[in-house]
Structure 1
Amino acid sequence: MSRRTATLVVSGLMFIALAIAAMFTSVPYGELTPGPTVNTLGDYRGKPVIEVEDAQTYPTSGHLNMTTVSVTSKGYDMPLLGAFVGWVKDDADVVKKSSLYPDDKTEKQVEQENAEEFTSSQEHAKVAAFEKLGIPVDKQVVIAKVSKDMPATGQLHAGDIILSVDGTPVRVEDEVGAAITRHKPGETVEFVVDPADARGTQRTVTLTTVAAEDDGRSVVGITPGVLPKFPFKVTIHLEDVGGPSAGLMFALGIIDTLSPGDLTGGKFVAGTGTIDDKGSVGPIGGVTMKTIAAKRAGAKYFLTPKGNCAEAAKDKPSGLTLVQVDTLDDAMAALGVISTGQGTLTECQK
């Protein structure tokens, strides 16, 4: 065998060895890819995505699609070769696994947090949409958090609506704490709640107060919050989705469903963005994968949070117009331009 042939053989064997090592050596990374998109004006698994009861609704057309990102599981061991492939692909993002699943949380805990954020985003979307439509929304006091190893643990739950404390109705958060601290540690306090797991019923719970570690005041281990009370029922039927990023598209879908006219003019619009009660739109993660998902679904326009615009514009899919929005009003104005073809859109810039 000549020296040249031997060198080629050795090089080939080394390449094969490296390739095999790359296939079986795992790295601490995960992958994001474009996920499903869902039209908030359409149906999902046989039910309308947005269902309204006891209120006038109006026909809609076109698309207002919320977008998602698919994420590898915490247990997925990405091979080194897979990471290399993901880094060069246009439709995948390889990121540190710790950014998807913090080391101090299980995959189930992360999924639970995402589910709670998704539910919260729906409530914010409803409030913002109702505010835009001029529909009054009342407030009710709710248990926002129950601390561990406290009198309320296992007796009261996050989401329970507090109807009264010691027989006195409560209307604002501060009234709950004031009622509890009127007691001395070791005395009992009575709560009447509308349980989160059995809405429309009432449950009476009597707890014995304990002294707070910091100042000795009486506590039971709950943090009160405020939950909107809507004049009629709006239900969002969507499963297997987490996180807060669909808030903007839910708000727009609710507005279109509850108001005459047609927001899209029959056009295919997708988008993303968190939303708060006042209609402010916030940035989200995985925007590039979401624009790809939107383009694949057939969208021509993508409503993009201002904070994501520069990132999204770097790898904009061909034929997809990225529209910058910072508020619900911005999104409504953009849809006015899209639906009529008149006016100018504020497009994302690199």
Structure 2
Amino acid sequence: MSAGHDHTGQGGADGYYRGYATADTSGPTGAGGTRVTVGMAIGLVLCVLLVAGVAIMNMVDVAKVLYRPGPIYNTLGETNGHPTVVVEDAETYPTGGELNFTTVTLYGGPRYPVSAWDWLLAEFDPNTDIVDEDLVYPPDMTAQQVQEQNTELMMESQDAAAVVGVRAAGVEVPEQVKVAQIIVDAPAADTLEVNDEIRSVGGTEIHNPAQVRDVLQGFEPGDEVEFVLVRDGEEITLQVPTGEDDVEAEDGSTETRTVIGVYLASDFDLPFDVTIDAGSVGGPSAGLMFSLAVYDKLTEGELTGGHVFAGTGTIDSSGTVGPISGIRQKMISSANHGVEYFLAPAGNCDDVRGNEPDGMEVVKIETFDQARDVVEAIGQGEDVDLPRC
């Protein structure tokens, strides 16, 4: 996420056909006496077999997903004819340059199945990556569920981006961390309830979901940890059991983490309206670039200094930038657009190394603050030692 030749024989056209006609005529002829040679017959059969083969391959789906370069959109401009980022009821400032969010064109899964013919062609396309379908989509997931999930992830990404950008501009945004979902048979299943607001964990005041995960790592799996909650408007204190979960670390090794077995979400109270319109694009990967656009609109001076940036990466309310899929295709699209600097999540460095397009600087990014500082320094013409993968 395609001319014919003027053949002339010696002696002119008349000589060409006369020479053809004087060959052995003992074989069959077609309509009007046209000579059908063995070679022509074989060629005809091969053509028929090829057409039939392509038709059959187009009818057969394979469990593959194709990643191809997609369009990019300037967060400081418009997406499909509408302003991408709009801030209302707050003082805003002119912007310049480009802060592009990037996309991939994805084929595969329940919405757009990949045919065997598509797969074969993709094998010869250096810009396409092919992965097994079950690594991207859970089994039995429907097209509607895919659409709903992508829409939900995009909305969550936009909310977090707005909060990060507004806070970076110096505006306070209250945040409530709540229990969104409890995993079946989780350690905390009999203690916590959905919509519980988490005020503190182990004596540490909680301001975002990442803090809960970090604080829990100070305890051993199996420990009970004190949680101060608000449930049905009343503050309560509970001892919450913990368990363990093995996760893959950034270096590829496996590490054991202390968990309670719940999904957390945040409720925000923005002091003014921030609207982000990404058109039909779904998923969470534009969070970083949205947050930079919100910040740029709320602060004086052009953040980019007129330069052309693009990038990708999820973002949470703490400003942490997370990895995404399809980064090679996003770098290709950006280079084709004329992007000067590409902001890449540190978690994607393994896929970035060796795939950096010529003429485009790829910068390793871990947090919003780091991304903002890099863009601002380049925009101001400073000599910057860019972090790289």
**Same fold by TM-score, threshold 0.5 exceeded?**
yes
* Alpha-carbon distance in 2 for matches of 1:134, 1:75: 42
Question: Which letter does structure 1 place at the counterpart of 2:135?
Answer: S
Secondary structure of the equivalent of 2:230?
Answer: helix
Map of 1:335 onto structure 2: 375
1:128 Cα offset (Å): 1.6
1:57 matched to 2:97? The reply is: no
Secondary structure of the equivalent of 1:71?
Answer: strand
| CA deviation profile, 1:39-80 (whole Å, cap 9, x unmatched) | 111122443211111110000000000001111252544333
| CA deviation profile, 1:132-172 (whole Å, cap 9, x unmatched) | 2221112358784699xxxxxxxxxx99x9xxxxxxxxxx9
Map of 1:264 onto structure 2: 304
* Alpha-carbon distance in 1 for matches of 2:107, 2:264: 36
In structure 2, relative to structure 1, the CA distance for the partners of 1:340 and 1:19 (3 Å cut) is farther
Secondary structure of the equivalent of 1:68?
Answer: strand
Aligned 8 A contact 2:107 2:113 in 1: no
Map of 1:174 onto structure 2: 229
Map of 1:273 onto structure 2: 313
1:119 Cα offset (Å): 0.6
Map of 1:194 onto structure 2: none
Aligned 8 A contact 1:248 1:275 in 2: yes
Aligned 8 A contact 2:229 2:235 in 1: no
* Alpha-carbon distance in 1 for matches of 2:103, 2:70: 5
1:224 Cα offset (Å): 8.6
Please give the residue correspondences for 1:242-321 in structure 2 after superposition, counting only pairs within 5 Å.
Answer: 242-321=282-361
1:239 Cα offset (Å): 2.0
- Of 1, 24, 27, 2:56 maps to 24
Map of 1:121 onto structure 2: 157
Moved more, 97-106 or 258-267: 97-106
| CA deviation profile, 1:92-140 (whole Å, cap 9, x unmatched) | 2222222333223112112211111111111111222223222111235
Aligned 8 A contact 2:54 2:117 in 1: yes
In structure 2, relative to structure 1, the CA distance for the partners of 1:19 and 1:138 (3 Å cut) is same
Question: Which letter does structure 2 place at the counterpart of 1:133?
Answer: A
| CA deviation profile, 1:236-265 (whole Å, cap 9, x unmatched) | 122211111111001100010000011111
Please give the residue correspondences for 1:34-183 in structure 2 after superposition, counting only pairs within 5 Å.
Answer: 34-73=69-108, 74-139=110-175, 144=180, 174-176=229-231
Map of 2:31 onto structure 1: none
Aligned 8 A contact 1:313 1:322 in 2: no
Segments of 5+ residues of structure 2 without an aligned counterpart are 1-26, 28-36, 184-193, 198-226, 237-262
Regions of 4+ moved over 6 Å: 9-16
Question: Which letter does structure 2 place at the counterpart of 1:114?
Answer: N
1:305 Cα offset (Å): 0.6
% same residue: 35
Instruction: Point out the structure with max Rg over C-alpha.
Output: 2
**RMSD of Structure 2 on Structure 1 (CA):** 3.4
In structure 2, relative to structure 1, the CA distance for the partners of 1:24 and 1:317 (3 Å cut) is farther
Secondary structure of the equivalent of 1:41?
Answer: coil
* Alpha-carbon distance in 2 for matches of 1:107, 1:47: 27
Moved more, 105-114 or 224-233: 224-233
* Alpha-carbon distance in 1 for matches of 2:172, 2:283: 27
* Alpha-carbon distance in 1 for matches of 2:235, 2:42: 79
